[in-house]
Structure 1
Amino acid sequence: MDLKFRVAARIAKPVHEVFEAVADPAQLSHYFTTGGAKGRLETGATVSWDFHDFPGAFDVDVVEVVPNEKIVLLWAAGDGEPPNLEGVEYKLADYKTRVTMTFKALDDGRTMVEIAEEGWRETEAALKASYGNCQGWTQMQCALKAWLEHGINLREGMFK
């Protein structure tokens, strides 16, 4: 079994604006990284993301960035249930998964954002972690859409 997933959403903003909302840590901190983001997503960089629903900030390695087209990240894989479940112990694994975000300008002026993640080991704990990340990336796309199109932070107060 190859543990991987892909989620997609259409954002009613031009591709450059959508791309910048992900690459720029100040913007990302407004709607996704509830504890803040440090460092711009640029090829070769290591940035820090912090979430109120996750125990502490962690590093994200930026493998490749093609402006307005693609961002490829590596980050520590999780093992087990998502960390925001009450009483569930969550830990990072000793290997990384690959996240690929693609941005495509659509003919109607919107942007298609696809996020794919792969690379989990074939264990029950990794399967549960992959489900949690699929939920998280779907939520990120919803938050991105609400933020860019309506100025609403969907994650405000959600985890603390």
Structure 2
Amino acid sequence: MSPTIYVEAQMLIRKPIEDVFEAFINPEITTNFWFTKSTGKLEEGKTVTWEWEMYGVKSEVKVHQIIPNELIRTEWGSPSTNVDYEFKTMEKGTLVVIKSYGLNQSGEDLLRQVNDNTGGFTTVLDGCKAYLEHGIKLNLIEDKFPQK
């Protein structure tokens, strides 16, 4: 049996845990730094669709567990992987740790997936930090792969 591979990205966001947690479950906030559309707020047991209109991409997101201000456990992507969002109160704000696991690839495909997940989730956290701390919408996701 092969070991479980975790892809992890983290960032301290200098805002109260309630504000940071809400930014990840409420699409009215999340669309300012990540996807452009959602069929609804994240709720335990619910499946929502996230859309990145600039790329013509959609993803079904299954919400397996929510512990308010602590954890959001989801499954999404193609092929689907588990993605957990963990929140921890720190002296200067909230630490957000995003863990992706359950990757089914191997070799070069696995390396590519690890790289994509690490870079992608780091970009999400960077955008979230700028938006929540400074009210700046950096358009990082849109500008990561400009169409023209």
Same fold per superposition (TM over 0.5): yes
CA distance in 1, matches of 2:139, 2:24: 15
Q: Does 1:145 align with 2:132?
A: no
**For residue 107 of structure 1, what is the aligned residue in structure 2?**
91
Number of equivalences: 141
Aligned residue for 2:32, secondary structure, equals: helix
**For residue 101 of structure 2, what is the aligned residue in structure 1?**
118
Give the CA RMSD over aligned residues. Answer: 1.7
Q: Runs (4+) of structure 1 moved beyond 3 Å?
A: 52-55
CA distance in 1, matches of 2:34, 2:7: 20
**For residue 12 of structure 1, what is the aligned residue in structure 2?**
14
**For residue 73 of structure 2, what is the aligned residue in structure 1?**
72
Q: Gapped runs of 5+ residues in structure 1?
A: 77-91
Letter paired with 2:126: C
- State TM-score, norm by structure 2: 0.86
In the TM superposition, residue 56 of structure 1 has moved relative to its aligned partner by: 2.1
The structure in which a higher percent of residues are helix is: 2
CA distance in 1, matches of 2:115, 2:63: 23
In the TM superposition, residue 42 of structure 1 has moved relative to its aligned partner by: 1.1
**Contact (CA 8 Å) 2:7, 2:117: kept in 1 or not?**
no
CA distance in 2, matches of 1:144, 1:23: 13
CA distance in 2, matches of 1:13, 1:7: 18
Letter paired with 2:6: K
Percent identity, please: 30
**For residue 38 of structure 1, what is the aligned residue in structure 2?**
39
Letter paired with 2:64: V
Please say which of residues 148-157 and 37-46 is displaced more in the overlay: 148-157
